[in-house]
Every structure is written in structure tokens, then in C-alpha cells.
Amino acid sequence: MPVITPTKDSLLTAFVNKMMEEKGTGDLDSEARLRLRVQLREKLEQRVEENMIRMLTDEQLVELERLLDADVSDAALEQFFDESGADFAQAATQAMMTFRQDYLQAEAM
């Protein structure tokens, strides 16, 4: 997967915080809010990664699996994704918007 840089990390955290604010989690104590924030963040990252993988061709998926099995560096994985030709920004944006919609429409998450 492309590496999540501090800027991307801050973006995802801010996105989760905004979702929680929109949903109205003020009635939760600080410990419960923190647990929810961590849980939402993990699920969001998973959705983004899943969307990014869906953007790859079958041949690229085989190559990605080979790279992961070889335990290559984050830089090598970043290069693989950069050279794949897929629009990962669009994939991430779509995953984030769908995740937000699902969360806000859910009764309890």
C-alpha cells in the first residue's frame, strides 16, 4: 500500500473527527470517544486500501503479492503504486465518502 505520510495521517484523523462531530458523539465519555476514533480510523484505512487494491489489474495484483511476499521496503511498494497508473486519489476519496455516508446513516457504530 502507499505509505500514509504525516499529512495523509492528519487528513484521515481530521476526517474521522469531523464524522464523529457530525454524528454527535458528545454523550460519550472521553475514553469511549477515543476508542471509537481509533476504531473508525482503522476501518477507514482498511476501506481506502481495499478501494486502492480494486484499482489494480490482475497482473498488478500478482506483482503486488510477489512484492509483499518478498517483504520489500515501503519505498518499493510506494514506487509500485506510483507506477501502476491507477488514480489512487480518486479511489481514496470515493472510499472516504462512502465510509462517511455509511457511518452517518448507521444507527450505532
85-94 pLDDT per residue, tens: 988 889 989 9
Q: How confident is the model at residue 109 (pLDDT cuts 50, 70, 90)?
A: very low
pLDDT tens digits, 21-68: 999 887 889 899 999 999 999 999 999 989 989 999 999 999 999 999
For residues 56-82, give the mean pLDDT.
92
- Does a structural domain hold residue 52? yes
Structural domain that includes position 45? 6-105
Name the pTM for this structure: 0.78
- The candidate with the shortest Cα–Cα distance to 54, out of 109, 108, 1, 107, is 1
- Does a structural domain hold residue 22? yes
Measure Cα distances from 68 to 26, 34, 56, 62 in Å: 41, 32, 15, 10
- Does a structural domain hold residue 16? yes
Rounded-to-integer distance, Cα 87 and Cα 96, Å: 15
pLDDT above 50 (res 19):
yes
- Does a structural domain hold residue 70? yes
- Does a structural domain hold residue 1? no
Q: Domains in the chain: how many in total? A: 1
